[in-house]
């Protein structure tokens, strides 16, 4: 079927000023139609030709991305493959190409079906004039340019999103590291590098019961050793606070040496430190405390300018569970209160000593109140037993 009205065919070819940018592929099984389409479109576009759908597919599949046509103009009725069948395959092969069907048969149902199946840009019904064809192809090229620009913007936006996401991830990691550093700093004593009271309290609050149960399953207990430097104020008053800091740093180093796997040491406050160790019983806890006390007493503490001083410490001891017959009677916080009471006994009895308090018989209901007021009375009444390294 002829494509054009004879009085509207082009009369001769125009001289091309420059190589056209866009490629148009024309597909038709009639040589005359190909020749007429080529003569009309070659003035503004680079032309590729195929004589049926399969030849068009073979041509497209052999092309590199930069060679692909912007517009494909195909006849509908061709041997081996129709125009719509061709465009169904082209839609997957090169979805950005603008697809135009030329047909001599108008069937609205077929048009709708082809638009849905093959993404047809426009149907052109034979015959039509040259100007309509050129205008249609030019608008198709504009649509291709717009689609390509949109795709370019999408790629740029995706790249920006990736870059922004990467930046946000990097900042998030940096923020997490900063938070971790802040958290670590909040759990670390700045002077000694040991954990601080908050760190050990949190650990005991979160894992204390599990720790006790684990030690019990091993046939062991948890001992709390409260260590207090004797007459520490005199160090600050006599040698200055820098010297006092040096002594505390030295004591922290000794505590680290006495920590085994699973033990923990923390600066509890001021010149007071807490050591948590695994022991079999009060006797083993006392031996650990005695070794620690003797190490402190025998260590010369460097305080700067070549000076060294000797100090002693006092230690209070209590074991968890406190009452092995009733292990839930006192939690870790109340056992620490027992260790604190034992420490004050060591202080009142001349310092440079380790004192511990152990459960001697079932504790009274008002035990905590009486412990804070007069622990010696509980000892006198036989509720508590004192053990000490003091000869």
Enumerate the active-site residues: 271
From 85, 117, 83, select the one nearest 100 (Cα to Cα): 83
Decide: 22 and 71 in contact? Cβ < 8 Å: yes
Determine phi and psi for 158, rounding to 5 degrees: -60, -40
Instruction: Write down the residue that tokens 């007021």 correspond to.
Output: 373
Decide: 273 and 249 in contact? Cβ < 8 Å: no
Is residue 295 classed as helix, strand or coil in its secondary structure?
Answer: helix
Edge to edge, the sheet with strand 98-103 lists 46-50, 23-27, 71-75, 98-103, 122-125
Instruction: Say if strands 98-103 and 71-75 run parallel, antiparallel, or are unpaired.
Output: parallel
Annotate 279-309 with DSSP letters as a single string: ESSHHHHHHHHHHHHHHHHHPEEEEETTEEE
Distance (Å, whole) CA 197 – CA 269 = 7
Distance (Å, whole) CA 79 – CA 132 = 27
Decide: 54 and 22 in contact? Cβ < 8 Å: no
Write b or e for each residue in 345-367: b if 16 or more Cβ atoms lie within 10 A of its Cβ, otherwise e.
bbbeeeebbbbbbbbeeebeeeb
Distance (Å, whole) CA 76 – CA 83 = 4
From 47, 73, 215, select the one nearest 133 (Cα to Cα): 73
Distance (Å, whole) CA 132 – CA 41 = 12
Decide: 99 and 136 in contact? Cβ < 8 Å: no
Instruction: Say if strands 71-75 and 46-50 run parallel, antiparallel, or are unpaired.
Output: unpaired
From 46, 81, 40, select the one nearest 66 (Cα to Cα): 46
β-pair partners for 223: 277, 319
DSSP category for residue 19: -
């Amino acid at each position: 079927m002829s494509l054009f009205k004879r009085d509207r065919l082009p009369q001769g070819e125009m001289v091309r000023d420059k190589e056209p940018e866009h490629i148009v592929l024309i597909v038709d099984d009639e040589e005359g139609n190909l020749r007429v389409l080529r003569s009309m479109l070659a003035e503004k576009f680079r032309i590729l030709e195929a004589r049926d759908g399969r030849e068009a597919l073979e041509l497209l599949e052999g092309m590199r991305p930069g060679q692909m046509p912007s517009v494909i103009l195909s006849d509908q009725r061709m041997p081996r493959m129709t125009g719509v069948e061709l465009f169904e395959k082209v839609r997957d092969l090169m979805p950005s190409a603008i697809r135009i069907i030329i047909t001599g048969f108008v069937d609205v149902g077929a048009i709708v079906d082809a638009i849905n199946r093959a993404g047809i840009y426009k149907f052109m019904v034979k015959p039509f004039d040259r100007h309509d064809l050129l205008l249609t192809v030019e608008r198709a090229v504009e649509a291709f340019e717009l689609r390509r620009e949109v795709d370019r913007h999408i790629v740029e936006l995706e790249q920006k999103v990736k870059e922004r996401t990467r930046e946000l991830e990097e900042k998030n990691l940096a923020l997490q590291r900063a938070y971790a550093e802040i958290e670590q700093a909040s759990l670390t004593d700045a002077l000694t590098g040991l954990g601080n009271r908050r760190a050990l309290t949190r650990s005991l609050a979160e894992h204390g019961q599990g720790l006790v149960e684990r030690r019990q399953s091993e046939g062991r207990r948890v001992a709390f050793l409260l260590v207090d430097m004797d007459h520490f104020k005199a160090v600050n008053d006599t040698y200055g606070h820098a010297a006092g800091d040096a002594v505390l740093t030295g004591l922290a180093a000794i505590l680290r040496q006495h920590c085994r796997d699973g033990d923990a040491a923390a600066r509890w406050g001021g010149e007071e430190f807490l050591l948590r160790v695994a022991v079999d019983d009060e006797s083993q806890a006392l031996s650990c405390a005695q070794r620690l006390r003797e190490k402190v007493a025998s260590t010369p503490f460097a305080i700067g300018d070549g000076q060294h001083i000797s100090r002693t410490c006092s230690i209070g001891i209590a074991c968890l569970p406190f009452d092995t017959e009733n292990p839930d009677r006192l939690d870790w916080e109340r056992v620490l209160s027992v260790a604190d009471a034992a420490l004050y006994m060591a202080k009142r009895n001349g310092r440079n000593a380790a004192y511990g308090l152990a459960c001697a018989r079932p504790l009274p209901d008002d035990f905590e109140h009486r412990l804070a007021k007069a622990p010696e009375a509980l000892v006198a009444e036989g509720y508590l037993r004192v053990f000490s390294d003091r000869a």
